[in-house]
Chain A
Amino acid sequence: MVTAISIGITLLLVLLLARPMGLYMAKAFDYETTGLDKWFLPLEKLIYGIGGIRRENQTWKQYVLAIVMSNTVMILLVFLIFRFQGSLPLNPSGIPGMEPTLAFNTAISFMTNTNLQHYSGESGLSYLSQMVAIVFMMFAAPATALAAVIAFIRGMAGKPLGNFFVDLTRSITRILLPISFAAALVFIALGVPQTLEPTAVATTVEGAAQEIARGPVASFLSIKELGNNGGGYFGVNSAHPLENPNALSNMLQILLMLLVTTATPFTYGKMVGNAKQGRVLFVSMAMMFIVFLGISLTAEYAGNPALNALGIQHEQGSMEGKEVRFGVAQSSLYSVVTTASETGAVNTMHDTLTPIGGLIALSNMMLNTVFGGMGAGFLNVLMYTMIAVFLSGLMVGRTPEFLGKKIEGKEMKLIAVTMLFTPILILAPTALALFTNADTISNPGYHGLTQVMYEYTSSAANNGSGFEGLGDATPFWNISTGIVMFLGRYLSLVTLLAVAGSLAAKKAVPETAGTFRTDTGLFAAVFLGTVLIVGALTFFPAIVLGPVAEQLTLTP
């Protein structure tokens, strides 16, 4: 009962914050003069001045080019820092330069908002790498995705797409910085360390000396969650007592992970001038979220049937790999939230989730439409929306229209190509890894298959959580997941912004009684059907061989 109430309160807070945050974001990206300018414009002007940014609208090609070029440059820069961190300053512990494939993987990982960490915990990075490379990218990556989705929405609203550098700056100054600053203060109050003092030394009860790693954890933690980054300060991420000390810090992390991504539909509704459009998508996604959460909780509470059959006490559910201070409820809620929001932070070992609990985490990432990652998730949602609009448009006998724009051959070609990306990026490398690198998989059989599939799904969806259990610090894994993360991030960004560019140039068609409405419950049903049938059917055979077979064979 207590757990039900605590989950209820958390989700209620998410719900209450979504709309105001969405409206705030719409205002933050409004190019007209708003009340926010008074606070932020001086700082932004300074940044524009330093960066030599001319605040001019870009075409979709210029916008895409700005994203890809700036991100690639940042990847290269950070790659070099990782490679040569051994001889660079701010390295008191004398940590050596990173191995090239690992540096390649880590640079892409943080630039693509994935934060898949193949390096070994706290000991792999120098202070310079931590501060310049990691923290810098933890702001730049989500800001890039947020800018992209805002540009896309502008296109749908028939406005110019805007300027990437302005949007990038505003994402950081108006959204990420202030909120993560405030959140960091709360985390400190909740007991998360924020210090530049060296490692603490304590004497344990048994008299042994213990070194306790610490550092500026609170500030790192807040952008990790708010930006849907997910990379842990400590190796075990938010399962570490200093990175997630109690139920309240756990709740705040969940709120931060969901804050921007649940707000985006409302931003969209506001920017296209029809709040209902956004609300319909929010409700659809929330429904998927609730159902998935319900399944996950049921599975985790039911525990492992094979162990249960042995008469092992399992009233608390499956506690394997979970923190006692969070219990089953907070752990599985966290696992659903972190995969739904493509954050990738973990407070529990996903490898030891029950097969069905793992399946839910996997499905969230495969669909990437259960809210989804900052910016990128909602872009994906809008792609599925357009497929749904296309099918229902045909079914009512009209050339499909979305927000008054006709969706024609050109847009559908781009969308049809975009549909291909996720299946290819998940299924093909999984097959390749199973075929060539079976020896790096720690588990045989169905679970091993899931481990591999999870790794690539997490990479393709830019989630970053690991199922773990893979010997993944090898060149094969570093390079293959690096490529998948990169393509998973930028391919669809390019094609979808091309769609936005094409839509923005179209004349809006007035709405009549014959127009198919996209702001109704009926459309929500079509949208969900499209996501589940077009999105999920692709992965059905793989899922049957992974988690489903595992669950079924657990039966004693």
Chain B
Amino acid sequence: MSPKKSMMDAALIQKAILQAFYKLDPRVMIRNPIMFVVEVGFLITLFLIFVPDAFGGTVSTGFNVAVALILLFTVLFANFAEALAEGRGKAQADTLKKTKKEITANKLVGSDIKQVPSAELRKGDIVLVSQGEMIPGDGEVVEGLASVDESAITGESAPVIKEAGGDFSSVTGGTRVVSDRIKVKITSDPGESFLDRMISLVEGAKRQKTPNEIALNTVLTSLTLIFLIVVVTLPFYADYLEIRLEIPVLIALLVCLIPTTIGGLLSAIGIAGMDRVTQFNVLAMSGKAVEASGDINTIILDKTGTITFGNRMASEFIPVGDAAAETVGSWAAIGSVRDETPEGRSVLELMKKQGIPYDAAAADGAEFIAFKAETRMSGMDLKDGRKVRKGAVDAVKKWVVSQGGVIPADLDKKSDAIASAGGTPLAVAVDDTIYGLIYLKDTVKPGMRERFDELRKMGIRTIMCTGDNPLTAATIAKEAGVDDFIAESTPEDKIAVIRGEQAEGKLVAMTGDGTNDAPALAQADVGIAMNSGTVAAKEAANMVDLDSDPSKIIEVVAIGKQLLMTRGALTTFSIANDIAKYFAIIPAMFMLAIPELEILNVMKLGSPNSAILSALIFNAVIIPLLIPLAMKGVAYKAMSSSELLRRNLLIYGLGGVLVPFVGIKLIDMVIHLWV
């Protein structure tokens, strides 16, 4: 794997070098005012090489050439940084494009199958996809069940099950059906598919500047203008003192003072930040969303699947009234024979484990009643007219009472006991009699507690949402260490919570996968949909997690913060550098006319010319040296903002003051051998 990767890197670098030259086009450069100033400086010095006395200058051609070359490299380094960041995205896009080959689709027209190229498919068309075929476009499974290999997008090689109805019905164009056969309703027109959007995003074609990037850009532009004024007015001051300042020296001073370091790396930081999110297998619809995730105050997490494993397993049958434990188990099993939910299957498994026999034949020819959010029960209507139900205790109670049944006296006590222990009680009833409870146990994923502690340190509050009753919810909440929870929550509750938090001025993030999560995902400031989720959820969200791992939101927050921190740190570094550059160039500029200024030459640089060139070289080489940092981002560990600031201020603020003193001195020691 690794040799292949490094070869790709070599190719990437080659491309980026070429791109760096293409980007010299002034029409492209003007988009980055700071580097544009450097390019103009380069053009002026280039002109001076050929017409040295154009402005009455007396500078040697050698010095002019040196300044021009360093300026050229400064611009090239900045262009290279941007091109490299873009190149990484492009490489990813190319891999994706390969999956976007032309596919022949089996379109259903009436009852006939017509073979059409996938590009001709429109929203609403129905296609048939069989084992071994590619799914021709984004869509929803309307009939059948199949396992699908989605590795082209997710990188995950294990196939996933897609089936009609429910939350696992959406399929993506370019993925392959590895078993069975499904009917898919196409949900996007050509050019608008998920893959298309993904390609344009990683290519950076649609990259818009984020709000913080715009704010930073104005500040940097303003600083550039300020230093432009400083340098433009300086010759008048010198002139009054009868000191001559040479044009290339003034240009060198200007280029050293304007924030070229951050100016050269700014767009690379932005692209690389998005790239990091993508490499993390999260697809952000905009850079704005990534930035916003760094500002999140509250995260709303579903309990099931995110905080806990979710597949609550039956662990015990508890009889109520005068029923026997075996009776509870056998009725629960009969009611679950055709129940494909993890809970249902776990009931049968528990029966098997406990070796309790039951009359499976009783379920023959029975009608299966699926679980619904409204009824919160599932079960079987047997042929002999008896109705078996299992489900939420209060729902089953209501159902039994409606048929004139009596509630056993110990039911509430026993179900509360299960709930307060963190389990979920399911009541089992046949017609008007409740026989007992199924004890479903849920387990908190390992390491969740530590992650919530981390979030708390970052100042982020976590709220757990669950359909469980308050007692169960409280137990899990305590075990996982979340800050708050909402029990028996409905999708409307989630929106209400999000709105409530937002009304206080907070930014809210949430994850979701179901269609009923869509409104809440849209309402949240950062909504992350699971790739396994429905199309509606994915469209409402501003990020899609291709691995469908809901706890990943925590890393996304960290990436968002890292993106801003990298910008802030390099800006501080860039500005702090100016102190040393001043102490290199100012004495050099005036030392011949005012020898007493030698005292300001604190670095004891060899000669005026070598001092100026050293500062300029430092200014140029610091850009490629910081490219890895710009790409990787500043290291981020969860800690309070004050600690974080103290650390970054020490490294990038104080470091930014000191590093150039050392760097310029070292360069000068070499340069001074010639100048």
Contact = CB atoms under 8 A, between A and B. Distances in A.
Interface string B233-266: 1101111110000000000010001000000000
Contacts of A411: 215
A493 to B, nearest CB: 18
Given A513-B641, A514-B458, A537-B579, A428 B562 contact: no
A420 interface: yes
Interface in A281-331: none
Contacts, number: 206
A526 B564 contact: no
A391 B505 CA distance: 22
A446 B242 CA distance: 11
Contact of B215 (A409, A509, A525): A409
Quick one: which of B219, B291, B461 has the most chain A CB within 10 A? B219
Quick one: which of A407, A419, A508 has the most chain B CB within 10 A? A419
A397 B237 contact: no
Interface in B545-588: 560-565, 567-569, 571-572, 575-576, 578-579, 582, 586
A512 B576 contact: no
A552 interface: yes
A365 to B, nearest CB: 17
B295 interface: yes
Interface stretch (A104-112, A199-207, A515-523): A515-523
A37 B642 CA distance: 43
Contact of A395 (B238, B239, B568, B579): B568
Contacts of A419: 219, 222-223, 226
Given A508-B505, A544-B586, A428 B229 contact: yes
Interface stretch (A140-148, A182-190, A430-438, A467-475): A430-438
Contact of A517 (B233, B504, B560, B641): B641
Nearest to A520: B642
Interface stretch (B42-50, B372-380, B387-395, B596-604): B596-604
Contacts of B562: 397
A180 to B, nearest CB: 38
Given A428-B229, A434-B237, A514-B460, A394 B216 contact: yes
B241 A516 contact: no
A507 B505 contact: yes
A525 B646 CA distance: 10
B459 A515 contact: yes
A538 B565 CA distance: 26
A393 interface: yes
Contacts of B649: 392, 395, 522, 525-526
B597 A552 contact: yes
A397 B564 contact: yes
Interface in B194-229: 211-212, 214-216, 218-219, 221-223, 225-227, 229
Nearest to B560: A397
Contacts of B225: 420
Contact of A404 (B505, B561, B563, B582): B505
Given A434-B236, A533-B576, A544-B590, A399 B295 contact: yes
B297 interface: yes
A8 interface: no
Contacts of A432: 236
A395 B237 contact: no
A394 to B, nearest CB: 3
A250 B98 CA distance: 84
Main secondary structure of the interface of B (DSSP, over half): helix
Contact of B561 (A397, A515, A552): A397
Main secondary structure of the interface of A (DSSP, over half): helix
B301 to A, nearest CB: 17
B457 interface: yes
A553 interface: yes
Given A393-B568, A394-B564, A409-B215, A416 B461 contact: no
B219 A408 contact: no
Nearest to B294: A397
A549 B641 contact: no
Is the interface on chain B under 10, 10 to 19, 20 to 34, or 35 or more residues?
A: 35 or more
B371 interface: no
Contact of A555 (B211, B233, B596): B596
A404 B229 CA distance: 35
Interface string A396-407: 111100001001
Contact of B297 (A417, A508, A510): A510
A441 to B, nearest CB: 8
Contact of A509 (B505, B572, B641, B648): B505
Nearest to A512: B459
A420 B565 contact: no
Contacts of B504: 510
B642 A516 contact: yes
A534 interface: yes
A169 to B, nearest CB: 35
B579 A449 contact: no
Contacts of A446: 241
Contact of A396 (B227, B560, B641, B653): B641
A448 interface: yes
Given A408-B215, A416-B218, A516-B641, A553 B596 contact: yes
B10 to A, nearest CB: 33
A412 B218 contact: yes
A553 B576 CA distance: 29
A397 B218 contact: no
Interface string B322-347: 00000000000000000000000000
Given A399-B294, A408-B211, A517-B641, 8 more contacts: A398-B641, A399-B564, A409-B214, A428-B229, A509-B297, A513-B459, A514-B459, A537-B578
15 contacts: A390-B219, A396-B565, A396-B568, A398-B641, A399-B291, A419-B223, A427-B233, A431-B236, A434-B239, A449-B241, A512-B460, A514-B460, A516-B645, A548-B597, A548-B600
Interface of B: 211-212, 214-216, 218-219, 221-223, 225-227, 229-230, 232-234, 236-241, 253, 257, 291, 294-295, 297, 456-461, 504-506, 560-565, 567-569, 571-572, 575-576, 578-579, 582, 586, 590, 594, 596-597, 599-600, 636, 640-642, 644-646, 648-649, 652-653
